[in-house]
Structure 1
Amino acid sequence: MVSSPFAVDFGDLPSQVPIFPLANAVLLPGGQLPLNIFEPRYLEMCQYAITTPSRMIGMIQPSMQEGEHDLFRIGCAGRISYFQETDDNRLLISLDGICRFRLVDDVVQDAGFRMAHISWDRFATDMTPDDLGLDKEPLLAIMRRYFEVKGFDADWENIDRAEDVQLLTTLAMACPFEVSEKQALLEAETLKARADLLIAMMEMAIHGEENPHESRH
């Protein structure tokens, strides 16, 4: 296999990246995240990132806490693989998920966006994922029920053909879970743990849809 000229080596990952705090928009390694950028500070952030060798932005969720820890500590960096300017002064970009990171600290720049010092140390395996060895039948079965109760359409032919990691990553990013649930999927230590958690979340969502009058604690 010919290596992509745009591939990033783990040892070349930058120690600082601009970060984009955005709830419910989780990027995972190997995933793709399209974004519509319109706020001036984030337009500045994207223009800055495009000029750097890595072209990276760190996606991270707000933690809903006030003060010092207003962001979750774990996010995922993505490389800008596509961008397009629009006539109404927006940027349409696509991020390719590269590797998760731990947020060390961040500083607001003059342009308004936040520049973060980050650590990649815990997540070297993100860039060389093992084969998941997923038993797809149970996942597909629960996925069909989940999509049915949620009223979602799906291209099941393409889903059946999808590789395990691709299917898991796409599902975890696309399903409309709560912020805390999305964060748990992002922080799962292994792909197997993420798959187990995803199945459990879909099962709970199905139960909630089928039993709407049960009290929640």
Structure 2
Amino acid sequence: MAAHRFHHSPDDVPEAAPVFPLSGALLLPRAELPLNVFEPRYLAMVDDALAGERVIVMVQPDESKPEDDQGPKLFQVGCLGRLTQFAETGDGRYLITLTGICRVRIGEEVATDTPYRQFRIDATPYGDDFEDGVGEDEVDRSALLSALADFLDANKLEADWDGIRSEMLIAITQMMLARMPGGDDGEPSLQ
């Protein structure tokens, strides 16, 4: 069964997408992430997403590296989300909900004239994100929850423990690994 009616496989994912680097905001496949959008560049991003494919990539900024002229450095794995709820407030903000589609590898930045950043993305390594239940039987849930609790506590993040399914735990583990220092080349290990 496909995870989402608009995106059934990595082939359905756009080649490039707008990126929302927001520290502490973690979007997972099939999960919902409510966001309060108020910065003008991200208001423009939401407007453009609504007028287009309605997708945005959530990714963590890599705060261990200095920003450059384009903005913060980013971790190389994010989650593509579909804009599934939208409301305007009386003070110019947007209240939106993104529903996670799949993890994506962040590629090269795309040169645009938009006030927000856009990157090439690749969902191919995460094709299993499109299938319900893949890998659930192989998860040591209690050990993974313990490791996740330690990780979230160390990074001052919270989780809805009752709502986390085993397939989400697999995705969380991969994202945790993406935030950890890697080998000699500095790349995170996503084995």
**Retained in 2: the 8 A contact 1:26–1:183?**
no
Q: Is the 8 A contact 1:24 1:182 kept in 2?
A: no
Q: Secondary structure of the residue that 2:46 maps to in structure 1?
A: helix
Match of 1:132 among 122, 132, 136: 136
Offset from partner CA, 1:46-83 (integer Å, 9 cap, x none)? 11011113x11011111121348811121111011111
Q: Deviations over 1:138-159 (max 9, x none)?
A: 667x59x97xx9xxxx998xx3
* Residue aligning to 1:57: 56
Q: Determine if contact 1:29/1:98 at 8 Å carries over to the other structure.
A: yes
Computed over aligned residues only, the root mean square deviation of the Cα atoms, in angstroms, reads: 3.7
Q: Which runs of 4+ in 1 moved over 6 A?
A: 179-182
Give the residue type in structure 1 aligned to 2:62: S
**CA distance in 2 between partners of 1:119 and 1:139 (Å):** 26
The number of residues matched between the two structures is 170
Change (3 A) 1:97 1:162: closer
CA distance in 1, matches of 2:6, 2:28: 16
Q: CA deviation at 1:189?
A: 4.7
Identity %: 35
Q: Distance in 1 between matches of 2:79 and 2:96?
A: 16
SS in 2 for 1:116: strand
Who is 1:210 aligned against? none
C-alpha separation in 2, matches of 1:189 and 1:181: 6
Structure 2 equivalent of residue 91 of structure 1: 94
Q: With structure 2 as the length reference, what TM-score do the two structures score?
A: 0.70
- Taking the aligned partners of 1:121 and 1:93, their CA distance within structure 2 comes to 27
1:183/1:30 CA distance change after superposition, 3 Å: farther
Letter of the 2:42 counterpart: Y
Give the stretch that moved more between structures: 74-83 or 62-71.
Answer: 62-71
Offset of residue 165 of structure 1: 2.9
Q: What is the CA–CA distance in structure 2 between the aligned matches of 1:122 and 1:169, rounded to whole Å?
A: 14
Q: Which runs of 5+ in 2 are unaligned?
A: 154-158, 181-187
Q: CA deviation at 1:110?
A: 3.0
- Letter matched to residue 130 of structure 1: V
Query: Is residue 187 of structure 2 the alignment partner of residue 183 of structure 1?
Result: no
Deviation sequence 1:184-215 (CA, Å, 0-9, x none): 5xx8857xxxxxxxxxxxxxxxxxxxxxxxxx
What is the DSSP-based 3-state SS (H/G/I as helix, E as strand, rest coil) of the residue aligned with 1:43? helix
Give the Cα separation in 2 of the matches to 1:76 and 1:26. 8
Task: Tell me, yes or no, if structure 1 residue 14 matches structure 2 residue 14.
Answer: yes
Q: Identify the match of residue 164 of structure 1 among 150, 159, 166.
A: 166
Q: 1-side partners of 2:61 and 2:160: how far apart? A: 32
CA contact (8 A) 2:19 2:56 kept: yes
Cα distance 1:87–1:164, how it changes in 2: closer, same or farther (>3 A)? same
Larger CA Rg, structure 1 vs 2: 1
Name the SS for the 1:45 alignment partner: helix
Structure 2 residue 37 is matched with structure 1 residue 41: no
SS where residue 84 of structure 1 aligns? strand
Unaligned runs of 5+ in 1: 174-178, 191-217
Distance 1:126 1:111, change over 3 A: same
Which amino acid in 1 is paired with 2:134? D
Rounded to whole Å, the distance in 2 between the matches of 1:110 and 1:122 is: 29
Q: Distance in 2 between matches of 1:116 and 1:136?
A: 34
